Amino acid sequence: MAERTFVMIKPDGVGRRLVGECIKRFEQKGMKLVGLKLQILGEDVAKAHYDEHKERPFFGDLVSFITSGPTVQMVWEGPDAVAQVRKMNGATDCKKADMGTIRGDFGMSLQNNMIHASDSVETAVREIALYFNENELWSYAMPDDGWLQ
């Protein structure tokens, strides 16, 4: 199976009507969408998602921000998917993110950085399982699969 990564558009990304823009960029890159949801996260899921940050001073703000409105969960598949999507999202702090990345082009904030993506293949496996059942992820062929290897 090709590499998969988990991507979440945060409440500010949804609120600023950037869902289509983000999806467009991943599609145009050649990634394949294999799972998609819109939901307002409960506190338990948000805390589990950001568990590695639980000792950080911004943890409370992070959880209240991510549960404050609708979010979009996606699983994207493609060669080197984890690193490619991280590169397309840009640096965590939007002010430091390169132009041409989603955060560099659309954001100004460190906390409200519009989009999240898994930082490793292991993290992707954990994050995908947190939001998707196996029967909510789809394996299918695309006509251009052979041109994207």
Q: Report the interface residues with ligand CMP, using CB under 6 A.
A: 53, 58, 62, 92, 110-111, 113, 116
Q: Give the shortest CB-148-to-ligand CMP separation in angstroms.
A: 26
Q: Give the shortest CB-21-to-ligand CMP separation in angstroms.
A: 18
With helix as H, strand as E and coil as C, how does 91-127 read?
CCCCCCCCECEHHHHHCCCCCCCCEEECCCHHHHHHH
Cβ closer to ligand CMP: 23 or 114? 114
Cβ closer to ligand CMP: 34 or 85? 85
User: Going by DSSP bridges, is the β-strand pair 32-39/4-9 parallel, antiparallel, or unpaired?
Assistant: unpaired
What Rg do the C-alpha atoms of the chain give, in angstroms?
Answer: 15
Strand boundaries in 25-65, DSSP class E: 32-39
Task: Give the tokens for residue 63.
Answer: 């959880």
The single residue of 78, 116, 127, 131 carrying the catalytic annotation is 116
Q: Give the shortest CB-110-to-ligand CMP separation in angstroms.
A: 5
Cβ closer to ligand CMP: 27 or 61? 61
- For the beta sheet containing 32-39, the strands, ordered from the edge strand earlier in sequence to the opposite edge, are 32-39, 71-77, 4-9, 115-117
Q: How many other β-carbons are positioned within 10 Å of the β-carbon of residue 12?
A: 21
Q: Give the shortest CB-23-to-ligand CMP separation in angstroms.
A: 18
Q: Is 116 a catalytic residue?
A: yes
Cβ closer to ligand CMP: 51 or 145? 51
Active site residues per annotation: 116
